[in-house]
Structure 1
């Protein structure tokens, strides 16, 4: 089917080619989803898989890790895709067949799986599967909300208590912090909370913004935004720069720790009176002045550029501009301040990195060079700080867990491998357990190079290479360290170790959640039915 669709398009032009390639894309996605379901089926068929279902890192986790590495996506995204794939092929085989033909999209498949999750009766599930597969033949375009409602109509036909009810607005209160990955160093916070808490929060921001002196260069909106960052303290750092500022006498302090990796430039104090440039020698003969590029701001000006009012777009009134001048963007410039990074690999512009150093505790990172290994299992703080700043994140393929939340793993197990930079890397607890208990001859294996590069070998023999997260912004942290001298390594180093176990299996947890939600639906359905009864006489 897929090969036929691909062969049907001989051109990349025209609406016919677009329609065919759209269907081909869906059919290819269906094959990918089927592969995921088959990988989990193979894991369950392996010897000893029943016992591993109660492991803290069970069969589903192990397969999801393999899927994430193969697609270079995060473990959470891989886990979600695997659950959709398994539910589709186990519960909705007719819908899976329509998907394999490329007639529906992956987004619609996800909606079907999620909205039909509470149907437990086998006969009702088969009926729902057949109804949906038949309806998709003439399915018209719908928004996400209308698609969910349309699927709910079919679910209601076969099992009214399986319709997923929306949470009330009060139950849906939440805070969503979205850190932008566009290199701006900014983040967006979206919060839904009680009205009275919102008023108290607003008052708290105003009070914090009032702790700086009137000479602070920030606007009212900028002060309110920075007050959110200082919400864990009772004061804000005043940026007026005056030596006699009363507000600056009490710098903020907080128990919250945010790790930022920066160069010495971000730590340097701005020079209030830079030395003027020496005058250029006067030419012997008059010559036309050379064309000079747009003025490049100094580091001090870059630090101050993130505060205050927006500069004007043009240097003269609009009525005096020609059309060419109005449409020509202002020339850019190369920033002089070296960028930094949050622990986890997020880019942070130099000016914002300078702001982050105000009131911060500074720890110098020392490259170990060719220093000999440490004669103990747990690395020293100096070595541990270097490893975390070099790696920035978990070193498993696709994983983005910040290094501060990771274990420091010996690539060659201690004591056969030394405690040295060339044998240590950051690995989150999930992937540490994966390597330890799902490793060995037919499991995950890894080896590490002197520059911090880690080469992972999957159970199927495929290799994945991960490099230190600091290599782009701070290549000096990836300079080679002392080569590891290996002692005799046993075939297995897990003797005496046991995988943490679950109290209940994943399947039992899912069944309990479905039963609980169906009971809530039953109670609500009965209450609605009683409310519709006529009054008794």
Structure 2
């Protein structure tokens, strides 16, 4: 019809033709989305239908295999891929009439998302058929509804044919819960909310008020801010916390001093240079020196140098890396401007290769991608945050054992920032640190290490996904289907001036032992994924039944006036 990016051609369209094109493209978009979900549904069916009991009990079952394929193909994280798979499954197996309407382009993907979710608790086939028929007859009008109206329109039919399957408020369905982060949170802060037992709430409230009362009258913060600071400090110090750091600015104030919250933060500053692929770290160096295998060995779980490491066969994923001292991972931040810590009232340790700060200092970036504004970063440093220069790449040669040193671990995680699997956004400090070429054939070297979340670590080990590292930190993945995908390190995007180039060490000619019985080592689950889902639906329906019974009882007890 016309080239949609050709602004000259678009400008020549009449108003009528332009609006007609918008309507046509809207329907085309819906049809394309329906086709995409139909394809995803086929992927799920091939892997999950007729799945035998042994495979269904494996951690990497058919669903996990399909999830990885969809995640990589669509560049989605695991949760988003699973959501798409559930929608596709519902359209394929539960709501065929609604699926047909979607395929015609009459409804949008947003409407389909709401329909499949609001009907997911229906477990009676006859009721589901009636609901599907009713919704398909009127879903073409749903696009004009607000979100609340859309939910009400779908729930009307669910309420009519299967009242126990109406999705109650997720918040109300949970007796006790705590949730974190809202998509609308501004940089530097995060929302959290929840519900506690009334007695626990009173205990917490009294504790926070008591700590808020320990600051002097000249502290400029309001009551709510003081309670927020007290709650955060409790998370760092624990029950031993006796008073809150005062911010009155008077050095003679009894409450003045370092804020324990800042002390739980590690700010990593970036440095440069590149190691040789075959270079091995010296075995006799000063204990604790940055870049040596025994640097902070107690924090990483690494054994002393004179102890032989005997890791599990590389066919078994390593256990989750032990957390470093709390400061290393609770709020790790990477900064692209090593000179920023100079804002501290106490000078930070000198950083090799540091460049003068720009006019506007750069913010910090947490490993999960959250932004720490520059002003807040300076406050953290002034308050006692640990400033830890990342080891220069030249100081990170191959290490002669399985577990990487603290310095090497920090570099690899800061470079990747997230899981190295395509589409996965799990923060690197919550991932296993994996030898991409299994050790001992693959060296413990920055060019052969990458963070992988437990799911994708298992997929690499058992499901035929093969990674290949590149000097710039990018990892190319070869899927069992023959497709290839790439995942660039987060630092390459956020800190383009940081030198993360490293040569890739050669694979050593060492045969791996016990590599023939991988299938027997696959972790298994006590209940299959289908059994877990059925149990959750059963439990939620039971809660709905109880709520309905209570509502009827209250209604029957109302006085007649």
The reply to whether TM is greater than 0.5 is yes
8 A Cα contact 1:344 1:402, kept in partner: yes
8 A Cα contact 1:450 1:481, kept in partner: yes
Residues 49 and 485 (structure 1 numbering): CA distance in 2 closer, same or farther, change over 3 Å? farther
- Rg comparison, structure with higher value: 1
Aligned position for 1:447: 468
Deviates more, 1:92-101 or 1:378-387: 378-387
Post-superposition offset of 1:192: 5.1
**Take 1:389 and 1:79, find their aligned partners in 2: how far apart are those partners?**
27
1:504 matched to 2:527? The reply is yes
Equivalent of residue 81 in structure 1, options 76, 79, 84: 84
SS in 2 for 1:515: helix
Aligned position for 1:374: 399
Aligned position for 1:315: none
Structure 1 residues 166-181: aligned runs within 5 Å = 166=169, 169=172, 171=174, 174-178=177-181
Post-superposition offset of 1:231: 3.9
Structure 1 residues 24-103: aligned runs within 5 Å = 24-44=28-48, 51-103=54-106
8 A Cα contact 2:408 2:446, kept in partner: yes
Aligned position for 1:458: 479
**Take 1:381 and 1:369, find their aligned partners in 2: how far apart are those partners?**
15
8 A Cα contact 1:436 1:494, kept in partner: no
Q: What are the Cα deviations for residues 255-310 of structure 1, in whole angstroms up to 9, with x where unaligned?
A: 673222235433325579xxxxxxxxxxxxxxxxxxxxxxxxx99xxxxxxxxxxx
Aligned position for 1:359: 384
1:267 matched to 2:341? The reply is yes
Q: Which runs of 5+ in 2 are unaligned?
A: 1-9, 265-325, 347-355
Deviates more, 1:71-80 or 1:505-514: 505-514
Post-superposition offset of 1:428: 0.8
Aligned position for 1:467: 488
Aligned position for 2:268: none
Q: What are the Cα deviations for residues 188-234 of structure 1, in whole angstroms up to 9, with x where unaligned?
A: 33445567766765665555445445665666665555444334343
Equivalent of residue 349 in structure 1, options 367, 373, 390: 373
Post-superposition offset of 1:15: 3.3
Aligned position for 1:487: 508
Equivalent of residue 436 in structure 2, options 411, 415, 419: 411
**Take 1:529 and 1:245, find their aligned partners in 2: how far apart are those partners?**
60
Equivalent of residue 331 in structure 2, options 252, 258, 282: 258
Post-superposition offset of 1:374: 0.9
Aligned position for 2:23: 19
Q: What are the Cα deviations for residues 432-460 of structure 1, in whole angstroms up to 9, with x where unaligned?
A: 01111111xxxx21100223221122333
Post-superposition offset of 1:475: 4.3
Residues 165 and 251 (structure 1 numbering): CA distance in 2 closer, same or farther, change over 3 Å? closer
**Take 1:454 and 1:168, find their aligned partners in 2: how far apart are those partners?**
40
SS in 2 for 1:230: helix
Structure 1 residues 519-530: aligned runs within 5 Å = 519-522=542-545
**Take 1:193 and 1:499, find their aligned partners in 2: how far apart are those partners?**
38
Aligned position for 2:314: none
Q: Which runs of 5+ in 1 are unaligned?
A: 1-8, 273-297, 300-333
**Take 2:215 and 2:159, find their aligned partners in 1: how far apart are those partners?**
59
How many correspondences in the alignment? 463
SS in 2 for 1:187: coil
**Take 1:376 and 1:493, find their aligned partners in 2: how far apart are those partners?**
19
Aligned position for 2:136: 133
Post-superposition offset of 1:37: 0.4
SS in 2 for 1:401: coil
Equivalent of residue 424 in structure 2, options 394, 399, 403: 399
Residues 194 and 392 (structure 1 numbering): CA distance in 2 closer, same or farther, change over 3 Å? same
Structure 1 residues 38-437: aligned runs within 5 Å = 38-44=42-48, 51-137=54-140, 139=142, 141-166=144-169, 169=172, 171=174, 174-178=177-181, 184-191=187-194, 204-205=207-208, 207-213=210-216, 223=226, 225-232=228-235, 233=237, 234=241, 235-239=243-247, 242-249=250-257, 251-252=259-260, 257-262=330-335, 263-270=337-344, 335-357=359-381, 358-369=383-394, 371-437=396-462
SS in 2 for 1:268: helix
**Take 1:270 and 1:511, find their aligned partners in 2: how far apart are those partners?**
55
Residues 426 and 220 (structure 1 numbering): CA distance in 2 closer, same or farther, change over 3 Å? same
Tell which has more relative contact order, 1 or 2 (C-alpha 8 A, sep 6+). 2
SS in 2 for 1:470: helix
**Take 2:493 and 2:217, find their aligned partners in 1: how far apart are those partners?**
41
Residues 168 and 510 (structure 1 numbering): CA distance in 2 closer, same or farther, change over 3 Å? closer
**Take 1:202 and 1:134, find their aligned partners in 2: how far apart are those partners?**
52
**Take 2:453 and 2:167, find their aligned partners in 1: how far apart are those partners?**
35
Post-superposition offset of 1:165: 4.3
TM-score by length of 2: 0.71
8 A Cα contact 2:432 2:452, kept in partner: yes
